[in-house]
Amino acid sequence: MADIQKQFEEFHDAIKLKRFKENEELREKRDIITKKIKKGVKTKFEEMEKDVPSLEFIDQGSYAVDLGIIPEDKDYDIDEGVIFDLYKEDYTDSVELKMIIRDILENHTNTPPKIKNPCVTITYSLDDEPAYHVDLPVYIKSKYDNNLYLAWGKEFSNQDNKHWDLADPEGLNDHIRNSFKDDAKKQFKRVVRYMKKWKDICFNSSGNSRPPSIGLTIAAVDLFSYKQSYNYLSGKFKDDDLGALKDLVSKLKNKFILKWDPDLEKSFYTIEYNLPVQPYSNVFSKMSNNQMDSFYQKLNELENALTEAESKSDPHEACKVLSPKYFGDKFPIPESKEARYQQVALSSAPSSNSAKGD
């Protein structure tokens, strides 16, 4: 079996996004937006002659849990939750506070802010192409419990599509952050990033055809197992990312069930995976039966490719199975054994001058 741990780790270093606190540009954009929201909320509520609510902000998404990758389309996604110290019982229209934030940030960038169902999105552009977008989910409290509620809905949605949804963003962060320790945690992060890059490479970015990153992440929290292999040369165990990734893919694939669709008169492989915190919703619910079936088939292809790579004796051949088809061109392919042997032979061959006498 070829040892390609070095290539996996080089691949990881190439796709890993720096932690939020280490990424000055992203941190700066977040801080500018949060300061502008605080100032704007104060001004708006004073204009309405209402008490100015206090605000809290919470890092969310891959930055908060240090699982970010460099996106294939270079459109970086930052999630920053905005928590109003207000009560949902006083705000029956869940979009009202989102509209306030939208108005505050109206001229913040060249692209107008957009109110989406789960958040307000601010887009930064570079050369007329999206370079960053900041998603701002809005939360509120309740007079009757200690939960947070997410503002759901768009500006012109009908009333049935505007509501406050139970949410626990900090609980979700903690669930992911605290799942593993030490070397197991390091390998877990690497494997999640491999899965995210595979998703970027192998799925169409439009619509809901891609499995959501949060779905891959919480599944990995449940299904990941730390893997090592024994190195007979060093007499030590070393991390085995190929084995850990293959194991995760196999376990995730086994979570699918075959479901009959009476309308299409066809069976599909489908999956349900619930959030481990409020509102305990299915993270794959936006995917159609056909999209989930495609997800299953692609997992099956990846599992077969990992098995084939594992069976190769030459690291060059093993890596060729995976790159670029499944992980893109950032996954390195070392020289073949033949090429290495030829180099050794050439370097050790006597020169024509050395054969001549003085």
For the chain, the structural domain boundaries read: 17-173, 180-336
Taking only the tens place, the pLDDT of each residue in 302-342 is: 999 999 999 999 999 999 999 999 999 999 999 987 776 66
Return the percentage of the chain with pLDDT > 90, whole number. 79
Taking only the tens place, the pLDDT of each residue in 206-253 is: 778 999 999 999 999 999 999 999 988 888 999 999 999 999 999 999
Of 31-35, 44-48, 71-75, 117-121, minimum mean pLDDT range = 71-75
For residue 98, the model assigns a pLDDT of 98
Taking only the tens place, the pLDDT of each residue in 255-292 is: 999 999 999 899 999 999 999 999 999 999 999 999 99
Provide the CATH topology of domain 17-173.
Beta Polymerase; domain 2 (3.30.460)
Instruction: Tell me the mean pLDDT in the region 88-101.
Output: 97
Q: Is the pLDDT of residue 48 over 80?
A: yes
Q: Is the pLDDT of residue 354 over 60?
A: no
Neighbours of 8 (CB within 10 A): 24
